[in-house]
A and B are shown apart, each in its own frame.
Chain A
Amino acid sequence: MNQSAATEYSDDVRVAEPARAARRGGLHPVWKIWLPVPLLLLLLDLTFPYWFWNIPKLTGRSDDYGYQFLLDLHELRTPPPAGTTRVVAFGSSVTSVLDQYQAQRLLDARDAGTPVQLRRILSPGMKPSDYRTFFHAERASLHAPVVMYLFNWVDFFNPGFERDVKEGIRYLLPPWQVLEERASYLSLSSGLDLVLAGTSNLYRYRKPIKSSLHDHARTLLAWARSPSGELGFGVYADGYTRQRFALAAAELAGGTLEYLVEPAWLQQQGRVTVRFLLGGEGVGRETHREPGWKTWPLPAGAGGMLEVEADSAWNRRAAGVADDVRLLGVKLRQLPASGASADRRPPYEYPPVRPDEVEPFLRMGGTTGAEFERKWNEVLSAETEFAIRFRKYREGKLALKDRPFTVTDEFAEMEKLVAELAQPGTRVVLVNTPENPWILAEYQDGQFYQGYLRFFRELAGRNPRVEFHDLRDALPVEDFNDWHHLTFIGDLKMGPRFAEIAAGAASRLEGEP
């Protein structure tokens, strides 16, 4: 092309030669610039287990299940105190029925029996085949002679076990173990991905690292917008408080705080510990095993805001004493005159969410009776992703209802899992979790569900180290957020049952060969 043509349409394309700088000289040697890059990454990668798990997770347990699973797993690698029996509960999302902190408090409040440490790991969508892979590699590191599998029929829905590991679970399972077991089902891309995940911590754990980065960025903004600590908060108009509240110390009559620990609270949580803080510094702690009015004298000369924090919360509806869906702490004898509204946000704290905090989610808004039914029908018939999914679950279950029960792949995987877990010196607890009575009524007398229950009874019957608990009809419909996930009120009601099951299994372990 001649020069005139070149300048005619696009003129001379003024491009920078990439190697111009190189020709000019003055560049650093390749190794000096680029070698530190992999070395720095390698350093971060190798030291990852020593720093990452010490960074607090800043969101609730149900925010980012994968991150929570890995965090819980990391904690399980530390053995329990000597003489304590660890019970690890595991399963899919239905495992959220077990509030490990509530059950632990109830276990700790017992006067007799083996000390039990109850822990929970869960990941939505994790199937028996996935847990088999998981326990194959991790069983020894969990230090748990008792394992408790919480499941629902929906966990066995897939006719075959999942050939490729789904995105949400892929990095929770030990990568090399997955490769070994499922190599023939994996695509080249998935296989290479697992090789990378098995080789590099930064790659395998990139999702929780990202979550942590994002959460810290968000919490930095929340901190900047946080209210000052000079105002009271957390007190309802009827004298009940939130789990954490604050009021001006000067307003306490006679310099003493008078508060009520309700009997229902102790029934739900076993015992209650209350901490007192002045200016952010702890100045006292009381543990109550008996209900009634309590007093706590303010230290002499104390001023400013008195902050009070209980180690648990309770709910009046769960206790059957009132139709009240609030999560409560103590009840105050005297309301603070200057106000300490329950709606006001507390000042910023790091981490902003505690691991044992209950998330007060009620999909039907805490309604009951006819209003609950109306709301239920409205939510479940909507064209939302949630409603579509849960309609499919129902259709799927009803389609199987009258078919004969067959041991498909996930059930076979369950048999293998139980056989592998039920070794001498261990106990395996199988728990069929509560189901919404409305859907249960539609299929529980059908051939398939009866066969399903028989399968687990026989599984337990075949091995003395295995026990089966059927909790399918434990709760009324108002305690459900959908077909098989409970409200936090339902969870609170189930706490004592799980404490009892865990304690029983631990005690039976003592008689094991």
Chain B
Amino acid sequence: MASRVGSRLAGTAIAVFLAFAVCAVLILLVGANPLEAYAAMLEGSVGGIAALTTTGVRMTPLLLAGLGVAISFRAGVFNIGAEGQLYLGAIGATIVGLMPLGMPSWIHVPLALLGGIVGGAIWAAIPGYLLAYRGISEVVVTLMLNYVGIYLASYLVDTESGPLGERGASYSQSAQIQTVARLPALVAGTSLHLGLVIGLVLAVALWAMIRWTPFGFRLRMIGANPIAARYAGVRVGNQIVAVMALSGGLAGLAGAVEVIGLRYRLYENFSPGYGYDAIAVALLANSHPLGVVLAAGFFGALQAGANRMQQTVNIETSLVFIIQALTVIFVIAAPKVGRFTFPRRGAGTPIEEARGEAVHAG
């Protein structure tokens, strides 16, 4: 066990190194010094309290959404719609956060978070239902719902016609949420908020859930072999919908804490692709909740360092997305060391058969 984790970490370290090496060439090509660029990145991500809090802020949505994606992967379901679920979560939290409930913070904040969880869970339960009971590829549906979710948020905060939109604002945004609905800061005077702690606690809780609870056992079962799971009495369809709802709820929570912890408003297009990065996070973590913490921390640091890099050596921040993607590609392309153990399911194989219905009949 320990050696397996060790070899995985070693494999990932090599992949990270290779990704940085390739990007060094890109930096050279645009006429800058890679060492200077990477030094700036390091400085901006872990060089001091301010940098570390920035890393924590960027890490938070990646952690929560990454946990959501990882949970779905463990069950052999490909929820790649975290981006849309994150928007629905932000919408849910904003709606609750804007309400003048007259409640104390310790009630209003959890309610807003719940609003986010519900929003994301519904958005993911739709493709979950379609997969479980209609045999429709969750991959395409979750991808399509990403765009629908983003446009739904844009509509809601439209400054002219949106129900949540702030009239006359120069950018499409909602009004500010109630002060009592805001998550407290972790470090006074910085934007690091309680969302990070929520994410860390949930990572441990999910790890324990997968390992020790009946729900976690069923989740692993349908991931490993849905047909066997069905013969063992697992209601595979219900389990898929439940897993998708949980997965989307976590992504929704990521959107919720962005609103009530960081921005205090819902903005149009507020996510720079956290939901897509979350796929890479889950993958790098081999879908292990504790691994997600490490991977989200790494990606958060990259994104935090990117701004400093842009300021000092004028390298586009999009470079870090190349680093992220290359890391993932190198990990999955690597021979044996750190190979991923995915349930080898394509649409049209066990899960559909396991439902015991003739979906493809005709």
Q: Please determine whether chains A and B interact with each other in the same assembly.
A: no
